[in-house]
């Protein structure tokens, strides 16, 4: 009976953490877009210098990777939120089963809870790949500056 409440709390913490990551990644996208605009305006109609061209190429690559990363974060948030909904449903089914002794809802209760756990695991997978992608982006940025 306590498991759904514990999982709702756990998912809330996961959502809090991943939303923080989401804000950081979105802010990074905005900063890179701003840098790209400034470089483009600064160049005016002339050709870019070698350094400007390399930087613009690096920014374009990072933006592509960051957009993919934002999708992973979004998918993690959606997974955790769906899991919360399933755990709330599990809690409601437990209450309904408690007050309505005529129906046997144990299989449905366990099923809803297990699907919720699978959805949490899916969200953890998205968060894992998002963290790996973040590391890959940093490696690329460091290599581009060398």
Instruction: State the CB neighbour count (10 A cutoff) for residue 12.
Output: 12
Mean per-residue pLDDT, 121-137: 94
The pLDDT score that the predictor gives to residue 21 is 92
Instruction: Return d(Cα 28, Cα 74) in angstroms, integer.
Output: 16
Q: Where are the domains of the chain?
A: 3-145
Q: Is the Cα dihedral 103, 107, 109, 115 positive or negative?
A: negative
Residue that is written with structure tokens 């701003």 in the block: 34
Contact 73, 126 (CB under 8 A): yes
The pLDDT score that the predictor gives to residue 145 is 66
The pLDDT score that the predictor gives to residue 117 is 98
Each residue's pLDDT tens digit, 69-112 = 999 999 999 999 999 999 999 999 999 999 988 888 999 999 99
């Amino acid at each position: 009976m306590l498991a759904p409440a514990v999982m709702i709390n756990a998912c809330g913490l996961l959502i809090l953490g991943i939303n923080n990551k989401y804000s950081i990644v979105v802010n990074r996208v905005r900063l890179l877009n701003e840098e790209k605009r400034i470089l483009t305006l600064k160049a005016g109609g002339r050709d870019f210098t070698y350094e400007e061209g390399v930087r613009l190429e690096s920014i374009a690559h990072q933006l592509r990777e960051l957009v993919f990363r934002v999708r992973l974060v979004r998918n993690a948030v959606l997974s955790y939120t769906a899991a919360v909904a399933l755990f709330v449903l599990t809690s409601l089914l437990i209450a309904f089963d408690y007050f309505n002794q005529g129906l046997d809802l144990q299989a449905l209760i366990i099923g809803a809870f297990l699907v919720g756990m699978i959805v949490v695991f899916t969200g953890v997978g998205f968060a894992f790949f998002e963290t790996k992608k973040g590391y890959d982006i940093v490696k690329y940025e460091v290599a581009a500056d060398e």
